[in-house]
Chains A and B, each alone.
Chain A
Amino acid sequence: MKALPPDHAHPTPRGGTPEFPSASTNPCKLCTPLGACLAFKGIAGTVPLLHGSQGCATYIRRYLISHFREPVDIASSNFSEDSAVFGGRRNLHHALDNVGRQYHPDLVGVATTCLSETMGENMPMLLGEYHRESAADGLARPPTVHVSTPSYKGTHAEGFNDTVRALVESLALPPRAGLNAPTPPALLPGMVSPADLRHLRDFAAAWQSPVTLVPDYSETLDGGTWSDYERMPTGGTTVTDLRALGRAAVAIECGLVLAGAKATAGTHLARRCEVPLHRLGLPIGLRQTDALSDVFADLTGRPTPLRLAHERARLVDAYVDAHKYLSGRKAIVYGEEDLVASLAIFLAEIGIVPVLCAAGGRSGRLEKAILTNAPELANRIEVREGSDFADIEERITALKPDLLIGSSKGYKLARALDVPLVRCGFPVHDRLGAQRIQLLGYAGTQQLFDRIVNALLEAKQAHSEIGYSYL
């Protein structure tokens, strides 16, 4: 390890690729297993199981619950001191038994926490043993998918993406001779809201194309009330769908930062199964949504469906109506890297300058992802990786933003600055309806756009001496 700088009083540099990443004050990220649990919640009949101590599972449940306002059952193998010393084999097997007994799942999604990762638990061996022993005893056990999620190597967003990859890698079967009937396009949208997942399905339907969303928690994390407790709420990508992914007509993987990663769910499908892969941004704004449309146009050979053409036209119309209120305004965007990248590109398109784009992750690819797709932002923005709210705060007086865009965690800053906060990303726990926040497609962008414009107008009204009631 490199030596620390001698002068402790000097704040260590943050952001960019810091040489000495300092401690974090008010983090702009959560931990990897949270992302894993969220992704597993999008697989039908799946119970997430964290291999490690009880606390992580409970905290993650609490966080997901307060965002989605739905039950989120996450099991833990509940380490004790013994397991931390001698290994968690017994706990894992016992936990799998108990989850099977109570939930009867189709799949158990096993994620390792920092603790079990550091201990170096040999998960393929432990899980292999479990399945072999069960088979020998004639017991039918649900399949397991393991994802390695040490938090000291990533953020919740990376945990999410790694889990999607693990699911695809362990379940998708390469096409075999004679078994080649192609299956629907695979759409890997990244960490988006249940409402956005539903919209993506509608978007594909407008092209008369079915689609397999991976994962799909549009129902499991945004459903109706029940007459009885549903152990695993209905909905989600089925294990059968996952197995068929290897024969998908195309794979569409959203996330411009993710697109720079070497091994993803999409690259696996491309390399192992020869599924043509499209790597796009989250479809926010015209440019990025058009890119998604182009993929469907190619695929289906159809012209843009009327419904989407209308949605797009209305969006352009809205852009025009509101452009003066936005022109030259400055925003701070923070959160998951891929969301920040796509939001920044969208903001550029409507004339708002995302003066500071801050993410908790440290992929080293955020700046490039933004500037390649919105070159007009070159020299006008600051991009900070490994950022936290103390870091953002340090830059705020100089930047004088007109608004903040990101999770609820920016509320205090927005309040102190007296600028509006447009809530999106994760978590949103000081408002109802986080599940239904839409950002994607022309329609989702429309909603986001209206929220941004109106937030700015509201702030202007609030600060106006005369007050006005007519634009």
Chain B
Amino acid sequence: MPASTDIAILPDRAASIVEAGSAGGPVKCGKGSVAGSVSQRACVFCGSRVVLYPITDALHIVHGPIGCAAYTWDIRGAQSSGPQLFRNAFSTDLQELDVIYGGEQKLEHALLDLIAQHGPKAAFVYSTCIVGLIGDDVKAICKRVAAATNIPVLSVASEGFKGTKKDGYRAACEAVQHLVGTGDTSDIGPHSINLMGDFNIAGESWVIRDYFERIGIQVVATITGDGRVDAIRRCHGAKLNLVQCSGSMTHLAKSMEQDYGVPFKRVSFFGIEDMAAALYETARFFDSPELLDKARALVAEEVAKIMPQLSAWRADLNGRKAAVYVGGAFKAFSLVRALRTIGMTTAVVGTQTGDAEDYDQLREMCDPGTIIVDDSNPLELAKFCLAQDVDLFIGGVKERPIAYKLGIGFCDHNHERKECLAGFVGMLNFAREVHATVTSPVWNYVPRRAGAAHLELEEARS
């Protein structure tokens, strides 16, 4: 009996898995991971670090033992058009004595040292698990150092155990909030937006910014992709916030709506449909026929550029099946649609941080029989991929070896990707990567397919 079929789903996890098209209660989600479940999720700190990392001219220092900082040293694909300070790993590297007597002095010392050395525009101080436990007063230190150095020094309450990655997003938003509203907004025009939740992975923010600027919309700040402290300080002058990537920046958008009356829209820049919708909706928001015309022209032009190639690849990919396991649900929605654009169906879809509504939406938009899962783990993912016999897995670094070991194509769609996947050009890149992996001849030699390939060959010969 193949091992995958006797992989037992943990009883605690059963309610986190449903099938599209079947009846049943809401997907259990939004909770801490089940102990011993080998979750693919990280921690609160991870959530904060993901969101704030791309602020390029800030000092990011991790207060804790070395690991948390070492593991997040320049691992993401966020690009900068200028400062590179953010690509360093700074850590207080707590030692035993610090743990016993407290790490406050060390943190203060480190901050003063590093700020003097690097001259950042602001500093973010991330508290990790151990700091939460030994009770260092990080906020007080930040305040003192801010007064001494004259730059904002912001504490990020990101103790790993105090919730899930989503709570980390919130802590990051709360830190950024201290910057918002402190800059000059006098030269910001009426058609102006902030891009939120785009992290400029492989230069994606630049692509999106270019689209908006081409149709006459001013982008005040990208928060946080290719981020600059000064731009964030004045971002409250923008007339609209576009929030991409479900969840990570919604908290900031909501508080900006409250404090500064800036409304927000949730959008996605992945796939033709979603990218076009984001442009149209923004144009409509400003109630300008001219903007809308320009947006239509831009979409027509960009789609015409990529369509012939997409159709060619679509011919090869038609009917192939994919599994998707990503961080946020918005990305999952976009991927289901983008896969359809190139002729593929989604047979497994899951996220690390989706909420009940997100899963309802996935249930609606996916084909009946699609497995939908919250906070999955390697054994489940392997079981579902084999049961659905997928040809492609879309996920991150931790999912890649699961796919490859089983002889399944793979496309990286997390924060470590090196390819721009946003916008129209991103759709082309995405399709190219999917095509390259799904149609590769190497699958003929992996155990899962070797038998079938062998048979085909014999048939052809006879």
* Nearest A residue to B95, CB-CB: A152
Q: Is the CB of A12 within 8 A of B113?
A: yes
- Residue contact A9 to B116, C-beta cutoff 8 Å: yes
> With contacts A4-B109, A95-B36, A230-B3 known, is A114 near B401, CB below 8 A?
no
CA distance A167 to B117 in the complex (A): 45
Is the beta-carbon distance between A97 and B36 smaller than 8 angstroms? yes
User: Cβ of B93 < 8 Å from any Cβ of A?
Assistant: yes
Interface residues of B in 328-343 (CB under 8 A from A): none
Residue B177 at the A interface, CB < 8 A?
Answer: no
A62→B414 CA distance, assembly (Å): 13
Near A by CB (< 8 A), chain B positions 111-142 give 112-114, 116-117, 129-130, 132-134
Closest B residue to A72 using CB positions: B401
Given contacts A33-B67, A56-B160, A118-B134, contact A26 B88 (CB under 8 A): yes
Please choose the segment from B22-30, B41-49, B216-224, B296-304 that sits at the chain A interface, where 4 or more of its residues have CB less than 8 A away: B41-49
In the complex, A228→B401 CA distance in Å? 13
With both chains docked as a complex, state the minimum distance between the C-beta of B76 and any C-beta of chain A, in angstroms.
Answer: 12
For B65, give its contact among A8, A72, A98, A114 (CB under 8 Å).
Answer: A114
| A-contact bits for B371-408, CB 8 A (1 contact / 0 none) | 00000001100110010000000000110111011110
Q: Which of B69-112 contact A (CB under 8 A)?
A: 69-73, 75, 88-101, 105-106, 109-110, 112
B266 in contact (CB, < 8 A): no
Q: Which of B3, B42, B65 neighbours the largest number of chain A CB atoms within 10 Å of its CB? A: B65
B166: min CB distance to chain A, Å: 13
Q: In the docked arrangement, what's the CA distance between A78 and B160, Å?
A: 10
Given A29-B66, A229-B386; A54-B3 close (CB under 8 Å): no
CB distance from A347 to the nearest CB of B (A): 26
Name the CB-closest residue of A to B117.
A11
B37, chain A: closest CB distance, angstroms: 6
Chain A residues whose C-beta falls within 8 Å of the C-beta of B406 in the assembled complex:
225-229
- CB nearest to B407 among chain A residues: A225
User: Is there an interface contact between B96 and A152, defined as CB atoms closer than 8 Å?
Assistant: yes
* Cβ contact of A80, chosen from B69, B161, B379, B405, cutoff 8 A: B161
B436 in the interface, Cβ–Cβ < 8 Å? no
Q: How far is the CA of A98 from the CA of B161 in the complex (A)?
A: 20
How many residues on the A side are at the interface (Cβ–Cβ under 8 A)?
Answer: 78
- Measured CA separation A199–B194 after assembly (Å): 57
B274 to chain A, nearest CB (A): 28
**B61–chain A nearest beta-carbon distance, Å:** 7
Residues of B close to A227: CB separation below 8 A: 2, 406-407, 447-448
State whether A1 and B68 are in contact (beta carbons under 8 Å apart), knowing that A75-B37, A101-B10 are contacts in the complex: no
Interface residues of A in 230-284 (CB under 8 A from B): 230-231
- A92 CB contacts on chain B under 8 angstroms: 35
Q: Whole-angstrom distance from the CB of B380 to the nearest CB of chain A? A: 9
B171 CB to nearest chain A CB (Å): 13
Q: Is the CB of A34 closer than 8 A to any CB of chain B? A: yes
Q: Assess whether B261 is interfacial by the CB under 8 Å rule.
A: no
In the bound complex, residues from chain A placing their C-beta under 8 Å from that of B397 are 62, 65-66
Q: Does A73 contact B (CB under 8 A)?
A: yes
Chain B residues near A328 (CB-CB < 8 A): none
Q: Mark A63-96, 1 if CB is under 8 A from B, else 0.
A: 1011001111111111111011000000110111
B40 at the interface (CB under 8 A from A): yes
- Contact at A78–B40, with CB atoms within 8 Å? no
Q: Is A369 an interface residue (CB 8 A)?
A: no
Tell me the bound Cα distance from A22 to B116 in angstroms: 14
Expressed in whole angstroms, the Cα–Cα distance for A360 and B91 within the complex equals 13
Q: Is B16 an interface residue (CB 8 A)?
A: no
User: In the complex, which residues of chain A have a beta carbon less than 8 angstroms from the beta carbon of B72?
Assistant: 59
- The answer to whether residues A24 and B66 also contact, given A227-B447, A227-B448 and a CB cut-off of 8 A, is yes
Query: Chain B residues with Cβ under 8 A from A58's Cβ?
Result: 39-43, 46, 398
Say whether A177 faces chain B, with CB atoms less than 8 Å apart: no
Verify A11–B113 contact, CB threshold 8 A. Answer: yes
Contact pick for A54, options B10, B90, B160, CB 8 Å? B160
B38 close to A (CB within 8 Å):
yes
Decide yes or no whether A286 CB sits under 8 A from chain B. Answer: no
Cα of A49 to Cα of B38 in the assembled complex, Å: 9
| Residues of the B chain whose Cβ atoms lie less than 8 Å from the Cβ of A79 | 129, 161
Q: Which residues of B contact A150 (CB under 8 A)?
A: 65, 96, 99
Q: Does B8 contact A (CB under 8 A)?
A: yes
Given A96-B36, A115-B129, A229-B406, check contact A31 B67 (CB 8 Å).
Answer: yes
B64 in contact (CB, < 8 A): yes
Distance from A197 Cβ to chain B, minimum over Cβ atoms (Å): 19
B91 A23 Cβ-Cβ under 8 A? yes
B294 beta carbon closer than 8 Å to chain A: no
- Chain B interface residue bracket vs A: 35 or more
Closest to A91 in B: B35
* Contact count A vs B, C-beta below 8 Å: 263
Is A314 positioned at the interface, with any CB of B under 8 Å from its CB? no
- Which residue from B67, B101, B112, B401 sits with its C-beta under 8 Å from A151? B67
Q: Does B429 contact A (CB under 8 A)?
A: no
Q: B99, A152: Cβ atoms under 8 Å? A: yes
CA distance A115 to B105 in the complex (A): 20
Most buried by A among B61, B71, B90, B400: B71
* A55 contacts chain B at the CB level, 8 A cutoff: yes
Q: How far is the CB of B80 from chain A (nearest CB, A)?
A: 14
What residues of chain A lie closer than 8 Å to B96, measured between beta carbons? 150, 152-153
Residues of B within 8 A of A384 (CB): none
What CA separation (Å) do A106 and B458 show in the bound complex? 43
Whether B46 pairs with A55 at a CB distance below 8 angstroms is yes
Q: Which residues of A contact B378 (CB under 8 A)?
A: 71, 73, 229
Instruction: Across the interface, name the chain A residue whose C-beta is closest to B383.
Output: A229
Question: A192-203, CB under 8 A of B: which get 1 and which 0?
Answer: 000000000000
B32 within 8 A of A: yes
Q: Which residues of B contact A102 (CB under 8 A)?
A: 7-8, 10, 36-38, 379
> Given the complex, which residues of B lie within 8 Å of A49, measured CB to CB?
36
Chain B residues contacting A417 (CB-CB under 8 Å) are: none
Residues on the B chain within 8 Å of A75, using CB: 36-38
Let me know if B356 is at the binding interface, CB within 8 A.
no
Cβ A55 vs Cβ B160 within 8 A: yes
Q: A59, B109: Cβ atoms under 8 Å? A: no
Q: How far is the CB of B304 from chain A (nearest CB, A)?
A: 37
Q: From known contacts A31-B67, A53-B43, A229-B382, infer whether A23 and B446 are also in contact, taking CB-CB under 8 Å.
A: no
Q: With A and B bound together, what is the CA distance between A34 and B64 in angstroms?
A: 16
Given the known inter-chain contacts A53-B160, A229-B382, please indicate yes or no for A29 contacting B70, CB distance below 8 A: yes
**A54 with B32, Cβ < 8 A, contacts A152-B65, A228-B2, A229-B379 known:** yes
Q: A98–B36 contact, CB under 8 A?
A: yes
For the complex, give the distance between the alpha carbons of A101 and B44 in Å.
28
Interface pair B65/A76, CB less than 8 Å apart:
no
| A94 and B133 contact, Cβ closer than 8 Å, known pairs A23-B61, A60-B71, A152-B94 | no
A-B contact pairs, 25 of them (CB 8 A): A4-B106, A8-B112, A11-B113, A12-B109, A12-B113, A24-B93, A27-B66, A27-B70, A27-B91, A30-B66, A54-B43, A55-B43, A55-B44, A56-B68, A58-B42, A59-B46, A60-B67, A75-B37, A78-B36, A79-B161, A81-B161, A152-B96, A153-B95, A229-B378, A229-B402
Q: Which 4 A-B pairs have the closest CB atoms?
A: A55-B43, A31-B67, A95-B36, A98-B36
Q: Which residues of B contact A (CB under 8 A)?
A: 2-4, 7-8, 10, 12, 32-46, 61, 64-73, 75, 88-101, 105-106, 109-110, 112-114, 116-117, 129-130, 132-134, 160-163, 378-379, 382-383, 386, 397-398, 400-402, 404-407, 446-448
Starting from the known contacts A4-B109, A98-B35, 7 additional A-B residue pairs (CB-CB under 8 Å) come to A1-B98, A8-B116, A12-B109, A63-B71, A69-B404, A114-B65, A155-B66
